[in-house]
Structure 1
Protein backbone atom coordinates (compact mmCIF):
# COMPACT_ATOMS: atom_id res chain seq x y z
CA UNK A 1 0.00 0.00 0.00
CA UNK A 2 1.59 3.31 -1.05
CA UNK A 3 2.13 6.48 0.97
CA UNK A 4 1.32 9.89 -0.47
CA UNK A 5 4.77 9.81 -2.10
CA UNK A 6 4.20 6.35 -3.52
CA UNK A 7 6.27 4.46 -0.92
CA UNK A 8 5.17 1.11 0.47
CA UNK A 9 4.08 1.95 4.04
CA UNK A 10 4.82 -1.64 5.13
CA UNK A 11 8.34 -1.69 3.77
CA UNK A 12 10.71 -2.12 6.75
CA UNK A 13 12.80 0.89 5.70
CA UNK A 14 9.69 3.09 5.58
CA UNK A 15 8.53 1.91 9.02
CA UNK A 16 12.01 2.49 10.48
CA UNK A 17 12.13 6.05 9.14
CA UNK A 18 8.68 6.87 10.54
CA UNK A 19 9.50 5.69 14.05
CA UNK A 20 13.05 7.06 14.07
CA UNK A 21 11.63 10.51 13.31
CA UNK A 22 8.85 10.44 15.89
CA UNK A 23 10.76 8.65 18.67
CA UNK A 24 11.57 11.84 20.57
CA UNK A 25 7.90 12.70 21.12
CA UNK A 26 6.39 9.23 20.99
CA UNK A 27 5.90 8.51 24.70
CA UNK A 28 4.17 11.76 25.58
CA UNK A 29 2.18 11.97 22.35
CA UNK A 30 0.82 8.42 22.53
CA UNK A 31 -0.09 8.69 26.22
CA UNK A 32 -1.85 12.05 25.98
CA UNK A 33 -3.65 11.37 22.70
CA UNK A 34 -4.86 7.96 23.87
CA UNK A 35 -6.01 9.53 27.16
CA UNK A 36 -3.87 7.03 29.04
CA UNK A 37 -5.44 3.95 27.50
CA UNK A 38 -2.19 2.72 25.94
CA UNK A 39 -0.72 2.24 29.42
CA UNK A 40 -3.83 0.44 30.62
CA UNK A 41 -3.77 -1.83 27.57
CA UNK A 42 -0.10 -2.70 28.16
CA UNK A 43 -0.99 -3.84 31.68
CA UNK A 44 -3.85 -5.91 30.30
CA UNK A 45 -1.56 -7.43 27.69
CA UNK A 46 0.82 -8.62 30.41
CA UNK A 47 -2.09 -9.85 32.55
CA UNK A 48 -3.15 -12.10 29.65
CA UNK A 49 0.12 -14.06 29.94
CA UNK A 50 -0.83 -17.28 31.76
CA UNK A 51 2.27 -19.43 32.31
CA UNK A 52 0.35 -21.86 34.56
CA UNK A 53 3.26 -22.31 36.96
CA UNK A 54 5.91 -22.69 34.26
CA UNK A 55 9.10 -20.60 34.60
CA UNK A 56 9.23 -17.14 33.04
CA UNK A 57 12.96 -16.58 32.74
CA UNK A 58 13.66 -15.26 29.24
CA UNK A 59 11.58 -14.02 26.34
CA UNK A 60 11.03 -11.51 23.58
CA UNK A 61 9.36 -8.13 23.31
CA UNK A 62 8.75 -7.87 19.58
CA UNK A 63 8.42 -4.44 17.94
CA UNK A 64 9.50 -3.24 21.36
CA UNK A 65 9.50 0.50 20.68
CA UNK A 66 10.27 2.51 23.81
CA UNK A 67 9.97 -0.53 26.07
CA UNK A 68 7.02 0.73 28.05
CA UNK A 69 5.79 -2.80 28.68
CA UNK A 70 8.99 -3.82 30.47
CA UNK A 71 8.06 -2.43 33.93
CA UNK A 72 4.75 -4.30 33.79
CA UNK A 73 6.47 -7.54 32.76
CA UNK A 74 9.12 -7.32 35.48
CA UNK A 75 6.55 -6.47 38.15
CA UNK A 76 4.23 -9.31 37.19
CA UNK A 77 7.04 -11.85 36.73
CA UNK A 78 10.00 -10.88 38.95
CA UNK A 79 11.86 -14.09 38.07
CA UNK A 80 12.45 -12.83 34.52
CA UNK A 81 16.20 -12.59 33.94
CA UNK A 82 16.28 -11.37 30.34
CA UNK A 83 13.93 -9.53 28.01
CA UNK A 84 15.25 -9.42 24.47
CA UNK A 85 13.77 -6.37 22.77
CA UNK A 86 13.57 -6.57 18.98
CA UNK A 87 12.82 -3.37 17.09
CA UNK A 88 13.79 -1.89 13.75
CA UNK A 89 14.04 1.68 15.09
CA UNK A 90 17.28 2.69 16.76
CA UNK A 91 15.65 5.96 17.81
CA UNK A 92 12.88 4.23 19.74
CA UNK A 93 15.25 1.92 21.60
CA UNK A 94 17.67 4.71 22.48
CA UNK A 95 14.72 6.64 23.88
CA UNK A 96 13.84 3.62 26.01
CA UNK A 97 17.32 3.29 27.49
CA UNK A 98 17.98 6.99 27.99
CA UNK A 99 14.70 8.08 29.54
CA UNK A 100 12.90 5.08 31.01
CA UNK A 101 14.86 1.98 31.74
CA UNK A 102 18.53 2.66 32.37
CA UNK A 103 18.29 1.06 35.84
CA UNK A 104 16.91 -2.10 34.18
CA UNK A 105 19.52 -2.18 31.43
CA UNK A 106 21.25 -5.29 32.76
CA UNK A 107 18.02 -7.26 32.21
CA UNK A 108 17.37 -5.98 28.68
CA UNK A 109 19.09 -7.19 25.54
CA UNK A 110 18.39 -5.46 22.24
CA UNK A 111 18.36 -6.58 18.65
CA UNK A 112 18.01 -3.71 16.18
CA UNK A 113 16.54 -5.42 13.16
CA UNK A 114 13.41 -6.09 11.19
CA UNK A 115 11.87 -8.74 13.43
CA UNK A 116 10.95 -10.87 10.42
CA UNK A 117 14.58 -10.89 9.27
CA UNK A 118 16.09 -11.53 12.70
CA UNK A 119 17.45 -15.01 13.28
CA UNK A 120 15.98 -15.73 16.70
CA UNK A 121 16.80 -19.24 17.95
CA UNK A 122 14.18 -21.98 17.87
CA UNK A 123 12.38 -22.72 21.16
CA UNK A 124 14.35 -20.03 22.98
CA UNK A 125 11.52 -18.11 24.71
CA UNK A 126 9.36 -18.69 27.75
CA UNK A 127 7.20 -15.79 26.61
CA UNK A 128 6.61 -13.43 23.69
CA UNK A 129 4.86 -10.07 23.97
CA UNK A 130 4.16 -7.30 21.49
CA UNK A 131 2.36 -4.03 22.17
CA UNK A 132 1.20 -1.77 19.33
CA UNK A 133 3.44 -3.19 16.62
CA UNK A 134 1.08 -5.51 14.76
CA UNK A 135 -0.50 -2.72 12.72
CA UNK A 136 2.77 -1.96 10.93
CA UNK A 137 2.63 -5.31 9.07
CA UNK A 138 0.62 -6.36 6.03
CA UNK A 139 -1.11 -9.74 5.64
CA UNK A 140 1.93 -11.60 4.33
CA UNK A 141 4.10 -10.19 7.11
CA UNK A 142 1.50 -11.24 9.70
CA UNK A 143 1.78 -14.83 8.44
CA UNK A 144 5.56 -14.69 8.80
CA UNK A 145 5.25 -13.22 12.30
CA UNK A 146 2.87 -15.99 13.39
CA UNK A 147 5.40 -18.57 12.15
CA UNK A 148 8.18 -16.81 14.04
CA UNK A 149 6.25 -16.76 17.33
CA UNK A 150 5.42 -20.46 17.01
CA UNK A 151 9.05 -21.24 16.21
CA UNK A 152 10.73 -19.32 19.04
CA UNK A 153 8.40 -20.36 21.86
CA UNK A 154 9.36 -23.30 24.00
CA UNK A 155 6.69 -25.99 24.43
CA UNK A 156 4.43 -24.58 27.13
CA UNK A 157 5.63 -21.03 26.42
CA UNK A 158 3.09 -18.23 26.43
CA UNK A 159 2.39 -15.16 24.30
CA UNK A 160 0.30 -12.01 24.41
CA UNK A 161 -0.06 -9.26 21.81
CA UNK A 162 -2.23 -6.15 21.75
CA UNK A 163 -2.95 -3.49 19.15
CA UNK A 164 -5.06 -0.38 18.64
CA UNK A 165 -8.04 -1.36 16.51
CA UNK A 166 -11.07 -0.14 14.61
CA UNK A 167 -14.10 -0.48 16.95
CA UNK A 168 -16.54 -1.75 14.35
CA UNK A 169 -20.14 -1.64 15.56
CA UNK A 170 -19.49 0.77 18.45
CA UNK A 171 -21.83 3.74 18.31
CA UNK A 172 -18.94 6.13 19.07
CA UNK A 173 -16.80 4.69 16.27
CA UNK A 174 -17.09 7.87 14.11
CA UNK A 175 -15.76 9.96 17.00
CA UNK A 176 -12.91 7.52 17.58
CA UNK A 177 -11.99 7.47 13.91
CA UNK A 178 -12.03 11.26 13.74
CA UNK A 179 -9.70 11.31 16.74
CA UNK A 180 -7.25 9.02 14.95
CA UNK A 181 -7.45 10.41 11.44
CA UNK A 182 -8.41 14.04 11.98
CA UNK A 183 -7.48 15.26 15.44
CA UNK A 184 -4.08 13.58 15.84
CA UNK A 185 -2.72 14.81 12.49
CA UNK A 186 -3.98 18.32 13.33
CA UNK A 187 -2.18 18.26 16.69
CA UNK A 188 1.00 17.11 14.99
CA UNK A 189 0.87 19.80 12.32
CA UNK A 190 0.08 22.65 14.69
CA UNK A 191 2.04 21.76 17.83
CA UNK A 192 4.82 19.38 16.81
CA UNK A 193 5.52 20.73 13.33
CA UNK A 194 6.56 17.22 12.41
CA UNK A 195 6.62 15.21 9.23
CA UNK A 196 3.09 13.95 9.98
CA UNK A 197 4.50 10.67 11.18
CA UNK A 198 1.93 10.32 13.95
CA UNK A 199 -0.78 10.61 11.31
CA UNK A 200 0.39 7.20 10.11
CA UNK A 201 -0.93 5.66 13.33
CA UNK A 202 -4.49 6.29 12.21
CA UNK A 203 -3.83 4.88 8.75
CA UNK A 204 -2.10 1.77 10.04
CA UNK A 205 -4.90 1.20 12.57
CA UNK A 206 -7.66 1.56 9.98
CA UNK A 207 -5.91 -0.91 7.67
CA UNK A 208 -5.26 -3.38 10.50
CA UNK A 209 -8.87 -3.40 11.78
CA UNK A 210 -8.33 -5.86 14.66
CA UNK A 211 -6.32 -8.88 15.82
CA UNK A 212 -8.96 -11.48 14.94
CA UNK A 213 -7.27 -12.49 11.69
CA UNK A 214 -3.88 -12.70 13.39
CA UNK A 215 -5.32 -15.00 16.05
CA UNK A 216 -6.41 -17.35 13.25
CA UNK A 217 -2.88 -17.32 11.83
CA UNK A 218 -1.46 -18.29 15.22
CA UNK A 219 -3.89 -21.21 15.42
CA UNK A 220 -2.82 -22.26 11.94
CA UNK A 221 0.71 -22.54 13.34
CA UNK A 222 -0.48 -24.94 16.04
CA UNK A 223 -0.72 -22.48 18.93
CA UNK A 224 -3.61 -22.22 21.38
CA UNK A 225 -4.85 -18.66 20.87
CA UNK A 226 -7.68 -16.62 22.40
CA UNK A 227 -8.89 -13.36 20.85
CA UNK A 228 -10.32 -10.53 22.96
CA UNK A 229 -11.51 -6.95 22.53
CA UNK A 230 -10.63 -4.09 24.88
CA UNK A 231 -12.77 -1.01 25.53
CA UNK A 232 -15.49 -1.59 22.93
CA UNK A 233 -12.93 -2.79 20.37
CA UNK A 234 -10.67 0.27 20.45
CA UNK A 235 -7.92 -2.25 21.07
CA UNK A 236 -7.78 -5.97 20.45
CA UNK A 237 -5.44 -8.70 21.49
CA UNK A 238 -4.58 -12.35 21.25
CA UNK A 239 -2.90 -14.50 23.87
CA UNK A 240 -2.26 -18.15 24.50
CA UNK A 241 0.41 -20.82 24.60
CA UNK A 242 2.37 -23.37 22.64
CA UNK A 243 1.18 -26.92 23.42
CA UNK A 244 3.56 -29.21 25.25
Structure 2
Protein backbone atom coordinates (compact mmCIF):
# COMPACT_ATOMS: atom_id res chain seq x y z
CA UNK A 1 0.00 0.00 0.00
CA UNK A 2 1.64 3.21 -1.16
CA UNK A 3 0.42 5.93 1.16
CA UNK A 4 2.89 8.59 0.03
CA UNK A 5 2.49 8.58 -3.74
CA UNK A 6 2.70 11.80 -5.78
CA UNK A 7 4.24 13.60 -2.83
CA UNK A 8 1.00 13.55 -0.83
CA UNK A 9 -0.45 11.42 1.93
CA UNK A 10 -3.60 11.36 4.02
CA UNK A 11 -4.21 13.32 7.20
CA UNK A 12 -7.53 11.85 8.22
CA UNK A 13 -9.69 12.25 5.13
CA UNK A 14 -7.62 15.13 3.76
CA UNK A 15 -4.79 14.78 1.27
CA UNK A 16 -1.77 16.83 2.36
CA UNK A 17 1.87 17.13 1.28
CA UNK A 18 4.00 14.40 2.86
CA UNK A 19 6.21 16.95 4.61
CA UNK A 20 3.17 18.61 6.19
CA UNK A 21 1.67 15.50 7.82
CA UNK A 22 4.35 15.24 10.50
CA UNK A 23 3.63 18.83 11.58
CA UNK A 24 -0.14 18.33 11.58
CA UNK A 25 0.05 15.11 13.60
CA UNK A 26 2.40 16.87 16.00
CA UNK A 27 -0.15 19.62 16.53
CA UNK A 28 -2.86 17.05 17.28
CA UNK A 29 -0.84 15.28 19.96
CA UNK A 30 0.52 18.47 21.47
CA UNK A 31 -3.11 19.52 21.87
CA UNK A 32 -4.36 16.27 23.41
CA UNK A 33 -1.31 15.32 25.53
CA UNK A 34 -2.59 16.46 28.94
CA UNK A 35 -6.02 14.89 28.50
CA UNK A 36 -4.90 11.84 26.54
CA UNK A 37 -5.50 9.16 29.18
CA UNK A 38 -8.80 10.70 30.32
CA UNK A 39 -10.05 10.79 26.75
CA UNK A 40 -8.95 7.19 26.14
CA UNK A 41 -11.01 6.12 29.15
CA UNK A 42 -14.04 8.06 27.94
CA UNK A 43 -13.75 6.92 24.32
CA UNK A 44 -13.33 3.21 25.10
CA UNK A 45 -15.21 3.07 28.42
CA UNK A 46 -11.92 2.00 29.97
CA UNK A 47 -11.52 -1.06 27.71
CA UNK A 48 -8.23 0.30 26.30
CA UNK A 49 -6.61 -0.64 29.60
CA UNK A 50 -7.68 -4.28 29.14
CA UNK A 51 -6.36 -4.29 25.56
CA UNK A 52 -3.00 -2.93 26.68
CA UNK A 53 -2.63 -5.40 29.54
CA UNK A 54 -3.43 -8.27 27.19
CA UNK A 55 -0.98 -6.85 24.63
CA UNK A 56 1.90 -6.85 27.12
CA UNK A 57 0.78 -10.02 28.87
CA UNK A 58 0.99 -12.02 25.63
CA UNK A 59 4.17 -10.32 24.36
CA UNK A 60 6.55 -12.98 25.64
CA UNK A 61 8.77 -10.30 27.19
CA UNK A 62 10.95 -11.63 29.98
CA UNK A 63 13.32 -10.46 32.70
CA UNK A 64 16.48 -8.88 31.35
CA UNK A 65 15.02 -8.01 27.94
CA UNK A 66 15.70 -4.70 26.25
CA UNK A 67 12.47 -3.29 24.82
CA UNK A 68 11.68 -0.31 22.60
CA UNK A 69 8.16 1.10 22.98
CA UNK A 70 7.46 3.38 20.03
CA UNK A 71 4.82 6.13 20.17
CA UNK A 72 5.04 5.46 23.89
CA UNK A 73 3.14 8.62 24.74
CA UNK A 74 1.98 8.82 28.32
CA UNK A 75 3.86 5.69 29.37
CA UNK A 76 1.14 3.15 30.13
CA UNK A 77 2.64 0.42 27.91
CA UNK A 78 6.16 1.23 29.13
CA UNK A 79 5.04 0.85 32.75
CA UNK A 80 3.55 -2.58 32.04
CA UNK A 81 6.70 -3.67 30.20
CA UNK A 82 8.90 -2.32 33.00
CA UNK A 83 7.21 -4.67 35.49
CA UNK A 84 8.20 -7.65 33.35
CA UNK A 85 11.79 -6.85 32.33
CA UNK A 86 12.80 -6.33 35.94
CA UNK A 87 15.91 -4.63 37.29
CA UNK A 88 18.19 -6.27 34.74
CA UNK A 89 16.15 -5.16 31.74
CA UNK A 90 15.51 -1.81 30.08
CA UNK A 91 12.55 -0.11 28.46
CA UNK A 92 13.20 2.72 26.02
CA UNK A 93 10.12 4.91 25.60
CA UNK A 94 10.25 6.70 22.26
CA UNK A 95 7.87 9.30 20.88
CA UNK A 96 8.11 11.94 18.17
CA UNK A 97 6.13 14.45 20.24
CA UNK A 98 7.93 16.26 23.06
CA UNK A 99 4.74 17.06 24.97
CA UNK A 100 3.59 13.44 24.99
CA UNK A 101 7.07 12.27 25.99
CA UNK A 102 7.15 14.78 28.83
CA UNK A 103 3.78 13.66 30.15
CA UNK A 104 4.93 10.03 30.08
CA UNK A 105 8.24 10.77 31.84
CA UNK A 106 6.53 12.84 34.54
CA UNK A 107 3.86 10.24 35.24
CA UNK A 108 6.26 7.32 35.48
CA UNK A 109 8.66 9.32 37.64
CA UNK A 110 5.78 10.30 39.95
CA UNK A 111 5.07 6.57 40.35
CA UNK A 112 8.69 5.99 41.36
CA UNK A 113 9.60 4.26 38.10
CA UNK A 114 13.05 5.54 37.22
CA UNK A 115 15.61 2.75 36.99
CA UNK A 116 15.62 0.84 33.73
CA UNK A 117 13.65 3.48 31.81
CA UNK A 118 14.97 5.80 29.09
CA UNK A 119 13.14 8.46 27.09
CA UNK A 120 14.06 9.35 23.51
CA UNK A 121 12.38 11.82 21.19
CA UNK A 122 12.53 10.11 17.81
CA UNK A 123 10.93 9.54 14.45
CA UNK A 124 9.77 5.94 13.93
CA UNK A 125 10.85 6.18 10.28
CA UNK A 126 14.51 6.74 11.23
CA UNK A 127 15.29 5.12 14.58
CA UNK A 128 18.50 6.37 16.26
CA UNK A 129 19.68 2.91 17.31
CA UNK A 130 22.13 0.38 15.87
CA UNK A 131 20.97 -2.78 14.15
CA UNK A 132 19.92 -5.65 16.43
CA UNK A 133 19.52 -3.52 19.57
CA UNK A 134 16.28 -4.84 21.09
CA UNK A 135 14.59 -8.10 22.06
CA UNK A 136 11.11 -6.62 21.54
CA UNK A 137 9.72 -3.57 19.76
CA UNK A 138 6.15 -2.47 20.50
CA UNK A 139 3.94 0.26 19.11
CA UNK A 140 0.44 0.78 20.50
CA UNK A 141 -2.05 3.09 18.80
CA UNK A 142 0.76 4.90 16.99
CA UNK A 143 1.45 3.20 13.66
CA UNK A 144 -1.54 4.81 11.97
CA UNK A 145 0.04 8.23 12.62
CA UNK A 146 3.34 7.29 10.96
CA UNK A 147 3.51 8.89 7.51
CA UNK A 148 5.49 6.10 5.80
CA UNK A 149 4.30 2.96 7.59
CA UNK A 150 6.36 0.62 5.41
CA UNK A 151 9.51 2.50 6.31
CA UNK A 152 8.58 2.48 9.99
CA UNK A 153 8.06 -1.29 9.90
CA UNK A 154 11.43 -1.80 8.21
CA UNK A 155 13.08 0.25 10.95
CA UNK A 156 11.41 -1.88 13.61
CA UNK A 157 12.76 -4.97 11.87
CA UNK A 158 16.26 -3.46 11.62
CA UNK A 159 16.66 -2.75 15.33
CA UNK A 160 15.42 -6.19 16.43
CA UNK A 161 17.85 -8.91 17.43
CA UNK A 162 17.57 -12.24 15.63
CA UNK A 163 14.66 -14.03 17.24
CA UNK A 164 13.20 -10.74 18.47
CA UNK A 165 9.56 -9.83 18.07
CA UNK A 166 7.63 -6.79 16.87
CA UNK A 167 4.12 -6.19 18.17
CA UNK A 168 1.63 -3.65 16.85
CA UNK A 169 -1.56 -2.83 18.77
CA UNK A 170 -3.80 -0.68 16.62
CA UNK A 171 -7.38 0.15 15.81
CA UNK A 172 -8.47 -1.98 12.90
CA UNK A 173 -11.47 -3.01 10.82
CA UNK A 174 -14.58 -4.00 12.76
CA UNK A 175 -15.66 -7.46 11.62
CA UNK A 176 -19.36 -7.89 12.58
CA UNK A 177 -21.38 -6.08 9.88
CA UNK A 178 -24.18 -5.24 12.31
CA UNK A 179 -21.78 -3.42 14.64
CA UNK A 180 -20.23 -1.12 12.02
CA UNK A 181 -23.01 1.54 11.99
CA UNK A 182 -22.90 1.72 15.79
CA UNK A 183 -19.11 2.05 15.73
CA UNK A 184 -19.28 4.73 13.04
CA UNK A 185 -21.81 6.71 15.07
CA UNK A 186 -19.59 6.51 18.13
CA UNK A 187 -16.50 7.52 16.14
CA UNK A 188 -17.90 10.46 14.19
CA UNK A 189 -20.66 11.77 16.45
CA UNK A 190 -19.69 10.90 20.02
CA UNK A 191 -15.88 11.22 19.93
CA UNK A 192 -15.68 14.82 18.64
CA UNK A 193 -18.30 15.86 21.19
CA UNK A 194 -16.35 14.23 24.01
CA UNK A 195 -13.24 16.04 22.71
CA UNK A 196 -15.03 19.36 22.74
CA UNK A 197 -16.51 18.80 26.20
CA UNK A 198 -13.52 17.38 28.08
CA UNK A 199 -10.49 18.56 26.08
CA UNK A 200 -11.86 21.67 24.36
CA UNK A 201 -10.70 20.14 21.10
CA UNK A 202 -13.21 18.50 18.75
CA UNK A 203 -11.02 18.70 15.63
CA UNK A 204 -8.23 16.49 16.98
CA UNK A 205 -10.67 13.75 17.86
CA UNK A 206 -12.35 14.04 14.48
CA UNK A 207 -8.90 13.44 12.96
CA UNK A 208 -8.28 10.44 15.22
CA UNK A 209 -11.56 8.85 14.11
CA UNK A 210 -10.71 9.46 10.46
CA UNK A 211 -7.16 8.13 10.87
CA UNK A 212 -8.56 4.82 12.08
CA UNK A 213 -10.57 4.43 8.86
CA UNK A 214 -7.49 5.20 6.73
CA UNK A 215 -5.30 2.65 8.52
CA UNK A 216 -4.65 -0.62 6.64
CA UNK A 217 -7.05 -3.40 7.72
CA UNK A 218 -5.83 -6.58 9.35
CA UNK A 219 -4.81 -8.67 6.34
CA UNK A 220 -3.17 -5.73 4.58
CA UNK A 221 -1.07 -4.74 7.58
CA UNK A 222 -0.02 -8.36 8.07
CA UNK A 223 1.17 -8.43 4.44
CA UNK A 224 3.04 -5.14 4.98
CA UNK A 225 4.90 -6.68 7.93
CA UNK A 226 5.93 -9.64 5.79
CA UNK A 227 7.13 -7.25 3.07
CA UNK A 228 9.17 -5.38 5.70
CA UNK A 229 11.12 -8.58 6.42
CA UNK A 230 9.26 -10.10 9.35
CA UNK A 231 8.66 -13.84 9.57
CA UNK A 232 5.75 -15.78 11.09
CA UNK A 233 3.48 -12.76 10.74
CA UNK A 234 0.06 -13.06 12.31
CA UNK A 235 -2.74 -10.99 13.80
CA UNK A 236 -5.34 -11.43 16.49
CA UNK A 237 -8.57 -9.45 16.68
CA UNK A 238 -9.80 -8.07 19.99
CA UNK A 239 -13.34 -6.81 20.63
CA UNK A 240 -14.58 -7.88 17.22
CA UNK A 241 -11.75 -6.22 15.35
CA UNK A 242 -12.08 -2.78 16.93
CA UNK A 243 -8.40 -3.35 17.63
CA UNK A 244 -5.96 -6.00 16.48
CA UNK A 245 -2.55 -7.19 17.64
CA UNK A 246 -0.09 -7.84 14.79
CA UNK A 247 3.05 -9.88 15.42
CA UNK A 248 6.20 -10.60 13.45
CA UNK A 249 9.63 -12.06 14.20
CA UNK A 250 13.17 -11.20 13.10
CA UNK A 251 14.96 -14.26 11.74
TM-score range, shorter chain: 0.7 to 0.9
User: Which stretch has the larger CA shift, 182-191 or 5-14?
Assistant: 5-14
* Structure 2 residue aligned with 1:235: 243
* Structure 2 residue aligned with 1:143: 150
Q: CA deviation at 1:2?
A: 5.0
1:109 aligns with 2:97: no
1:30 aligns with 2:27: no
For 2:27 and 2:219, locate their aligned partners in 1 and report how far apart those are by CA, in whole Å: 28
Q: CA deviation at 1:6?
A: 6.8
Contact 2:95/2:120 (<8 A) preserved: yes
1:180-191 matches, within 5 Å, as: 180-191=187-198
Contact 2:12/2:214 (<8 A) preserved: no
For 1:77 and 1:106, locate their aligned partners in 2 and report how far apart those are by CA, in whole Å: 11
* Structure 1 residue aligned with 2:137: 128
Q: Deviations over 1:107-148 (max 9, x none)?
A: 22122122213322100001111110011135xx12112211
- Runs of 4 or more, structure 1, over 3 Å off, are 2-10
1:204 aligns with 2:235: no
* Structure 1 residue aligned with 2:5: none
For 2:173 and 2:94, locate their aligned partners in 1 and report how far apart those are by CA, in whole Å: 26
The secondary structure found in structure 2 opposite 1:50 is coil
- In structure 2, the gaps of 5 or more residues are 1-9
Q: Deviations over 1:144-202 (max 9, x none)?
A: 12211111100111221111123043411111121111101012224432262122210
TM-score by length of 2: 0.85
Which structure has the highest helix share of the two?
Answer: 2
* Structure 2 residue aligned with 1:17: 27
* Structure 1 residue aligned with 2:4: none
For 2:88 and 2:218, locate their aligned partners in 1 and report how far apart those are by CA, in whole Å: 27
Which of 57, 71, 74 pairs up with 1:63? 71
For 1:80 and 1:161, locate their aligned partners in 2 and report how far apart those are by CA, in whole Å: 25
The secondary structure found in structure 2 opposite 1:110 is strand
Q: CA RMSD in A?
A: 2.3
Contact 1:58/1:125 (<8 A) preserved: yes
- In structure 1, the gaps of 5 or more residues are none
For 2:235 and 2:14, locate their aligned partners in 1 and report how far apart those are by CA, in whole Å: 35
User: Which stretch has the larger CA shift, 77-86 or 226-235?
Assistant: 77-86
1:90 aligns with 2:98: yes
For 1:45 and 1:115, locate their aligned partners in 2 and report how far apart those are by CA, in whole Å: 20
